[in-house]
Amino acid sequence: MLGACWFNGGCEMSGRQSGTRLGVALAAAVLVGTALMADAQAPVHGGQGTTPATASKTAGEAFKNVRVLKNVPADQLLPTMQFVAASLGVECTFCHIQGAFDKDDRKEKQTARRMMQMMAAINKDNFDGDRDVTCYSCHRGSPAPLTIPVIAAEEPRPAPEGTAAAAPALPSPDQLLERWAQAVGAEALKKVTSRVQKGQLIGFGGRPAPIEVVAKAPDKRVSVMQTPRGESITAFDGSRGWLTGREGPHPMTAAESEAAKLDADLYFPLHVKQLFTGLSVRPSEKIGDRDAVLLIAANEGKPPVKLTFDAQTGLLLREQRYADTALGYNPTQIDYADYRDVDGVKVPFRWTLARANGRFTIQVGSTEQNVPVDDAKFVMPAPPSPAGQPTPK
Ligand code: HEC
Ligand code: HEC
């Protein structure tokens, strides 16, 4: 599983190709995934990393044999590949030969290239060019799309009588956010200047790893995970995000930084109205055994952020975010649980981050607030710049 491979800090892909410029870029991008996956509240753009060398290039310029996606920004190629793999429910090696991603030897890769053209044509000819049909629309997590309707294993249960009438009226976005602010403890939250959480990251079938998440008002955040290979860091310094990988610390891409900025906002429950121009409330399915309400927060031209609240407590249960790629959105879902009172503020002590290719949970053991935190903790150290590693401009 790709997730596991990120967690361990090195896919064969990065190992075998290292030394070449492409290899360095790929290794960096894969390792960006490592650090991102290390942090439950890190940006959703799993693996959507890049070295500065590829930041302004197109995929056609940065990679050897990209023909259909050649005008896509180079740093979107790997997220796009993750979208394709998730849509078909396959590993990279379904289409690629390990260590030679540019080769066209596998017929699945050639089919995939034709499918990309087909998808573009379907959308152009039928949906005004909107991306209404994607790989996932047909494939649904399988290489072989179905053509025949499935007969359900069980008789569908009739809905209990009166459920339609019993559906409660939805609150307005303002009411929902006001409720959240109260539930969190808005007045107490405004007095919080820093938060230090220590716990464990559990996931990928590995041993739990110690992790520390430090936040400082208004918008600095760093998480440091101890791995057998050393520290894995994801951070936002107040203006941009950065993370560590085998090649040393890297700045995040603009899109990653934007998501990291949201996560770093210590007063996020009080800022939603300022951060998004479009807010709407929808009914939600239950989450676990909790009745829930969904708030969709959007800005023009960007994928939305979905926030699902506990209908009883008013606290945030789930956040869903989407990273745009050339072919569709890659989803990230963060589920919050185990809320405890810290100095009058409700703080989640457990969160689980899930993507199409893996999930992990952070369980916090201790939370301290208003302790002094040195700003230096959030600043990206100078990269070691080994041979072949481009230094940031
Ligand atoms: C369903 C098939 C399929 C899967 C699965 C897939 N790819 Fe691809 N990949 C392609 C196709 C097709 C291209 C060429 C696209 C083009 O020509 O525009 C490509 C191109 C690439 C390239 C550019 C290689 C070069 O130098 O030209 C890289 C790197 C890559 N893929 C990585 C990955 C990774 C990493 C994964 C797993 C997350 C993955 N791919 C999963 C089909 C696939
Ligand atoms: C309109 C529906 C549809 C869309 C959209 C679609 N596919 Fe397919 N795809 C199919 C069907 C149907 C087949 C199986 C054809 C067959 O059985 O011979 C298939 C087969 C494939 C295969 C070969 C699988 C194998 O087992 O060899 C690959 C690879 C593939 N699609 C990739 C993609 C990718 C990547 C995308 C998005 C760019 C995509 N498809 C979008 C319908 C679709």
- Under 8 Å CB-to-CB from 64, ≥6 apart: which residues? 22, 102
Q: Output the CA–CA distances (angstroms, integers) from residue 338 to 141, 346, 348, 350, in the order listed.
A: 32, 10, 6, 6
Q: Which two tokens stand for residue 177?
A: 């956010």
Ligand with minimal distance to 1 CA: 1
User: Each residue of 303-362: pLDDT tens digit?
Assistant: 999 999 999 999 999 999 998 999 999 999 999 999 999 999 999 999 999 999 889 999
Q: What's the start-to-end Cα distance of the chain, in Å? A: 34
Query: How many angstroms separate the CA atoms of 3 and 108, rounded?
Result: 22
pLDDT tens-digit series, residues 191-248 = 999 999 999 999 877 789 999 999 999 999 999 999 888 899 999 999 999 999 777 8
Short-list 256, 220, 350, 247, CA closest to 43: 256
Cα separation values, 201 from 264, 290, 332, 362, Å: 19, 25, 17, 4
Q: For residues 363 and 358, what is the distance between their CA atoms, to the nearest angstrom? A: 17
Position 389 pLDDT exceeds 80: no
| Mean pLDDT (whole number) for 81-94 | 97
Q: Is the pLDDT of residue 298 over 60?
A: yes
Query: Which protein residue has the closest C-alpha to ligand 2 atom 36?
Result: 135
Ligand 2, CB within 6 Å, residue ranges = 84, 88, 108, 111-112, 115-116, 119, 133, 135, 137-139, 143-145, 327
Q: Which atom of ligand 1 is nearest to the CA of 22?
A: 26
The whole-number average pLDDT for the span 73-80 is 92
For the CA of 119, the closest atom of ligand 2 is 5
Per-residue pLDDT, 162? 56
Q: What is the pLDDT, as a whole number, of residue 56?
A: 78
In this model, does residue 168 exceed pLDDT 80? no
Distance 255 CA to ligand 1 centre (A): 21
Task: Provide CB contacts within 8 A for 137, sequence distance 6+.
Answer: none
Sign of the Cα pseudo-torsion (9, 6, 305, 164, in order): negative
Residues having CB closer than 6 A to ligand 1 are 2, 63-69, 78, 81-82, 84-85, 88, 90, 92, 94-96, 101-102, 108-109, 112-113
pLDDT at 160 over 70: no
Task: Name the one residue in this structure whose structure tokens are 């934007």.
Answer: 258
Q: Of the bound ligands, which one is closest to the alpha carbon of residue 328?
A: 2
Measured at the CA of 40, the angle between CA 50 and CA 320, to 5 degrees, comes to 90
* pLDDT score recorded for residue 256: 82
